[in-house]
Structure 1
Amino acid sequence: EGAAAMILQGVPASAGYAIGKARVIRKKDHSRQPVVRIAPSGVTKELERLEAALTRAADELSRLHAKWIRDNREQEAEIFEGHLFLIRDEELLSLVRTKITDELLQAEFAVGEAAEAIASRLSELDDPYLQLRSADIRDIGDRICRCLSNKPVERTESNNEREILIAEDLLPTYIAQLDEAAVIGFATSFGGATSHTAIIARSLGLPAVIGAGASLEQVKDGQTIILDAVAGTVILEPSEGDLARYGELSEQHLRRMNTLRSYKDRPTRTSDDHLVELTANIGSVKEALSAADQGAEGIGLFRTEFLFMERNDLPDEEEQYRVYRDVVQAIGPEAPVVIRTMDIGGDKELPALNLPQEQNPFLGFRAIRISLEKTDLFKTQLRAILRASAMGNISIMFPMISTMQELRRAIEAVEASKAELAEAGLPFNRAIRIGIMIEVPAAAIMADRFAKEVDFFSIGTNDLVQYTMAADRMNTKVMHMNNGLEPAVLKLIHNVIQAAVAERIQVGMCGEMAGQPLAIPLLLGMGLQKFSVGGGSVLATRERISRIGRRESQELLKVVLELDDPEQIKACVEKWYASRQMDL
């Protein structure tokens, strides 16, 4: 046996395995190219060149958009629809024109500098969603520059049928035009699991590892490598044993994917014939389309704050209404859609509100607390949601409710918004359902009282766990305490579910815990009626629930609730799975 293989760690973005030759794509270093300036008399001509390039770039994007629509890939088509919008972004173009007219830069350099300035600013923000949008700005910049120089679209030409692309970053445009027969996967230094790059990789069924950092510089062109896009690793110098093992893993993965796909149009039913509802958590229309494609029965959480965050102004009622309407159309008018009012604050900033910095924003002025103070902002959103409710099965959900007074004031705002729409003669669902997120321990403890005042609960475990355990989920020193299997957390969740069942209101969960294999049998045993998970986890969650009986889950829960150590609870659930010959 030779030397051990070298393993480079990244983040899995599109699950699967690939074995093949590395094709290393080195980024061109534009910073070393001499800047080209123009004479003042050439400004008009340069601005005309810019306009011609923008028109050509828009034509290319329209063709790409149309191609993906033809291929029934609406989610990916929306990426290029977004690029069409960005290509006329006034902030970008204003900066480009200033660099041409004031700094006398040639258009190519003006575009490159402007795109990089905006992308760099986005990538430095705390919010990961906005960081990932910086790739779209760079993609747009690259496209305009290529159109300025009249270069054709760069394509991947390959003589090898088993290539794995290795790059700092692969922009959506590049991936969308890959030769799918030649490229079997890719790994990048940058990027995140929700980037457009990752979305397109998942759509094409290409295994992808992203965010592997500078370690990828060790990969040599033509080197045989293994891409493990389940563990998120790139394996260099694999042994014969590694190659054989991953060949088998690859075949198992394909069989597993085929099995999961067979669950797409099935109801979500336990092995002893108990129906539960399985929905998806989304942050955009394109994620709603993806959720529908994954077989979600509805939308259990629409995080509307992303509508507010990528901008310096606030979306008006009409813009919000169109988005909520489009989500209904994406998932279907009969499917339930739970729209959460904006949950700004904590780690999500809203530039337009110019809120003061806080020492502890997670315990500060956020979510419903902002909405109840800024009532114009709140009622604009409520009117938009109510108007969209005329188009489908929409419910309103309030985040971070801590007190009964907050809930009652929020319901008053809904009633006032209904009155305004009625006076204007606009249609809406007068019997719209109203629910709350249970994510603050105060609400979990008072769940029996809250259950008398709302139509449904949705348990947000991401915050409920960190608040219950007083353990910041971003702090590595206390991350071990941020665990949904902590006895205190399980007892709180059980209390919430029992309170909902007693009042005959629906109780669901939209936190990460809803899709975790160790938690699923415990939640079924507690009587959870609705699981809302990330779109990519819908089929795996449905398949798992179908193999678990509700009655046997109740027996497991009785044992677990007697334990006082999360490690014991974990071992107990693992043993339970093993006794049923089920993988975790």
Structure 2
Amino acid sequence: MLKEIVLKADVLSSGISKGTPVFLNSETICKDNKISKKDSQKEIVKFEKAIKKSTKQILEIKKSLANDSLSITFDILNTHLEILNDPIIVNEVICKIKEENKCIYTILKDIISDYKSKIKDPFFKAKVLDIEDVFKRIMTNIGAIKIDILKKMKSKSILISNEIIPSDIFESDDTHISAFISSSTSYESHSAIIARSKNIPFLTNVDIEKLKSLDFKDMIVDAKLGKVIINPSIKTFETYELLVKNTKDTLPKIKLKKNINIFANVSNQKEIEKLKSKNISGIGLLRTELLFFNNKKLPTIDEQFSVYKKIAKNLENQICIIRLFDLGGDKNFYNLDTSNNFFGSRGAEFLLKNPNILKDQITAIIKASALGNFQILIPFVKDLSEIRQIKKIALDIQARLKIPSNIKIGSMIETPIAALMADQIAHEVDFLSIGTNDLSRYTFASENISSKRLHLGMIKLFKMIIQAAKDFEKPLYLCGEILASKSILNKFIELGLSNFSVGLKQTDIFK
């Protein structure tokens, strides 16, 4: 019988988990080698192709993770896209290939090594980790390194590596990961933030080489007390089994006051099937650009109508707020925005530049409105003219179809300019919907926004929007994972909000 061993560790994400250890190793295929001046141009072409391939992969990952209601995943992937398109970083690599006559693998490795040796500030050190993560993806795409274990992991795997980076998480099936263990990861790192967001236990400051030398099959990760238990005894195993069961049975619920409505954010077709089992008032946000992410192109009118029909059947006349395709900018899922700009034209602006996409979707919604209580939500509004143009298009389509429909049209308030114009927007539409994730992100110009408290500046913006809705007697909804915090939810209720839309999984925490 193998002896039980306990190793101490630091906690990055709290929780308890058991599983089979999986060591993440990358196999280096490319050698550090010099190249001729003649071959340097070939290396540059390889590098540029790898950037395009990496960009495409990240956009695909964004699509596949889009049903994750946590904005941190999008923020990290957007940072990676910015790095891939950063002319300073790209030019530095190209210049070094030309000047030093070295292969891409060596150049990227040297640049990261140089950054790490020179940069000591914690904030910029975190940025270096992002660059290293992107470089690792590029090296994989040029065939310099090979990592194939991530997609082959079985259920209840404990991922172990010297450094866990976001791409390791994005490339794996997180339903198969029960915990992370690393030798050196900071609490503020993106991978630690993702782990906390997904409630995956994460321990660091563990001697990975020592772990590799031990003979074991199973382990328990106690990320509450900071322990890795190798070869747990029957007694230890039973103790932790009971502890995990009791933890699940006593998960805190948020008790709601009367007249408070909880709606669901729906992002994929699997979630549609689960609607009947949830105690919700309807769908507060149907992310239509994500419903069809397995498609290589945007869905036809008939394909959209089919999904809306299914929703109507499952909701039984409850409200379903359909957000028009929120595409473009950092949500360029179908590669339709050719501006190559992080901001680009997104939401309402993108739809008006692509009228066929807009008209097809509105047509499908109006056809489906005869079957259910559907409402249209205009995304990423930045100007009143966008609302007026889309309303006119909807009226024209309704007249052409000769379908009697009093379908309501609302506006997302998710940009600072929309918040400042909330009173004028409220006058134009039937309802308002606050998107807390983007509104906070663009107001702070930051990815790192506290989910535990509301900033005074944000409270001012929220008060303006709430007052505008009251003045024009328009329903107001609020969407975002920030609502999982009881204190923040109560603060919004104090401010006068009563309609909240959260991820489908989060609806279970309310009673």
Fold-level match, TM-score > 0.5?
yes
> Any stretches of 5+ residues in structure 1 without a counterpart?
33-116, 134-166, 176-184, 202-206, 474-478, 544-584
Indicate conservation of the 8 Å contact 2:478/2:499, yes or no: yes
Q: Which of 356, 359, 372 matches 1:379?
A: 359
Q: Which amino acid aligns with 1:280?
A: A
> Any stretches of 5+ residues in structure 2 without a counterpart?
30-49, 67-147, 161-167, 180-197
Q: Which of 446, 458, 482 matches 1:472?
A: 446
Verify: 1:406 aligned to 2:386, yes or no: yes
1:375 Cα deviation from its structure 2 partner: 1.2
Indicate conservation of the 8 Å contact 1:506/1:529, yes or no: no
| 2: CA distance, partners of 1:517 / 1:131 | 29
1:383 Cα deviation from its structure 2 partner: 0.6
| 1: CA distance, partners of 2:239 / 2:395 | 61
1:255 Cα deviation from its structure 2 partner: 2.1
| 2: CA distance, partners of 1:197 / 1:238 | 23
1:489 Cα deviation from its structure 2 partner: 0.7
Indicate conservation of the 8 Å contact 1:465/1:482, yes or no: no
| 2: CA distance, partners of 1:211 / 1:5 | 13
Q: Which of 477, 484, 509 matches 1:515?
A: 484
1:222 Cα deviation from its structure 2 partner: 3.5
Q: Which amino acid aligns with 2:284?
A: G
Indicate conservation of the 8 Å contact 1:123/1:131, yes or no: no
* CA-to-aligned-CA distance 1:192-211 (integer Å, 9 cap, x gap): 5995846999xxxxx99499
Q: Which of 323, 328, 332 matches 1:349?
A: 332
What are the within-5 Å matches in structure 2 for residues 174-323 of structure 1? 185-188=156-159, 190-192=168-170, 197=175, 209=200, 218=211, 222=216, 225-227=219-221, 235-237=228-230, 249-257=243-251, 269-270=256-257, 274-307=258-291, 309-323=293-307
Q: Which amino acid aligns with 2:319?
A: P
Q: TM-score scaled to structure 2, two decimals?
A: 0.61
Q: Which amino acid aligns with 2:382?
A: S
1:439 Cα deviation from its structure 2 partner: 0.8
2:427 counterpart SS class: coil
Counterpart of 2:472 in structure 1 is 503
1:407 counterpart SS class: helix
Verify: 1:442 aligned to 2:417, yes or no: yes
What are the within-5 Å matches in structure 2 for residues 7-26 of structure 1? 17-19=16-18, 22-24=19-21
Q: Structure 1 residues 345, 29: closer, same or farther in 2, change over 3 A?
A: closer
| 2: CA distance, partners of 1:131 / 1:514 | 23
1:226 Cα deviation from its structure 2 partner: 2.4
Indicate conservation of the 8 Å contact 1:191/1:211, yes or no: no
1:299 counterpart SS class: strand
| 1: CA distance, partners of 2:172 / 2:480 | 17
Q: Structure 1 residues 3, 485: closer, same or farther in 2, change over 3 A?
A: same
Q: Which amino acid aligns with 2:285?
A: L
Q: Which of 529, 537, 545 matches 2:506?
A: 537
Q: Which of 61, 66, 77 matches 1:128?
A: 61
1:353 counterpart SS class: coil
Q: TM-score scaled to structure 1, two decimals?
A: 0.54
Counterpart of 2:376 in structure 1 is 396
Q: Which amino acid aligns with 2:282?
A: G
Indicate conservation of the 8 Å contact 2:262/2:501, yes or no: yes
Q: Structure 1 residues 236, 196: closer, same or farther in 2, change over 3 A?
A: closer
Q: Structure 1 residues 29, 468: closer, same or farther in 2, change over 3 A?
A: closer
Indicate conservation of the 8 Å contact 1:333/1:391, yes or no: no
1:519 counterpart SS class: helix
Q: Structure 1 residues 6, 26: closer, same or farther in 2, change over 3 A?
A: closer
Q: Structure 1 residues 233, 126: closer, same or farther in 2, change over 3 A?
A: farther
Q: Structure 1 residues 208, 448: closer, same or farther in 2, change over 3 A?
A: closer
| 1: CA distance, partners of 2:473 / 2:389 | 23
Indicate conservation of the 8 Å contact 1:379/1:413, yes or no: yes
Indicate conservation of the 8 Å contact 2:151/2:172, yes or no: no
* CA-to-aligned-CA distance 1:522-570 (integer Å, 9 cap, x gap): 1010111211111111121x24xxxxxxxxxxxxxxxxxxxxxxxxxxx
Indicate conservation of the 8 Å contact 1:9/1:234, yes or no: no
Indicate conservation of the 8 Å contact 1:401/1:438, yes or no: yes
Task: Name which structure has the greater RCO, CA cutoff 8 Å, separation 6+.
Answer: 2
Q: Structure 1 residues 345, 432: closer, same or farther in 2, change over 3 A?
A: same
| 1: CA distance, partners of 2:25 / 2:369 | 50
* CA-to-aligned-CA distance 1:320-363 (integer Å, 9 cap, x gap): 11122223334x222211110011123221445252212xx23x
Q: Which amino acid aligns with 1:468?
A: T
Q: Structure 1 residues 400, 123: closer, same or farther in 2, change over 3 A?
A: closer
| 2: CA distance, partners of 1:322 / 1:455 | 26
What are the within-5 Å matches in structure 2 for residues 4-153 of structure 1? 4-6=7-9, 17-19=16-18, 22-24=19-21, 124-130=57-63
Counterpart of 1:565 in structure 2 is none
Counterpart of 1:577 in structure 2 is none
Q: Structure 1 residues 187, 325: closer, same or farther in 2, change over 3 A?
A: farther
Indicate conservation of the 8 Å contact 1:188/1:210, yes or no: no
Indicate conservation of the 8 Å contact 1:285/1:326, yes or no: no
1:452 Cα deviation from its structure 2 partner: 2.2
Paired residues, number: 375
Counterpart of 1:460 in structure 2 is 435
2:317 counterpart SS class: coil
| 2: CA distance, partners of 1:457 / 1:413 | 19
| Identity within the alignment, % | 27
| 2: CA distance, partners of 1:6 / 1:221 | 19
| 2: CA distance, partners of 1:483 / 1:255 | 24
Q: Which moved more, 1:220-229 or 1:492-501?
A: 220-229
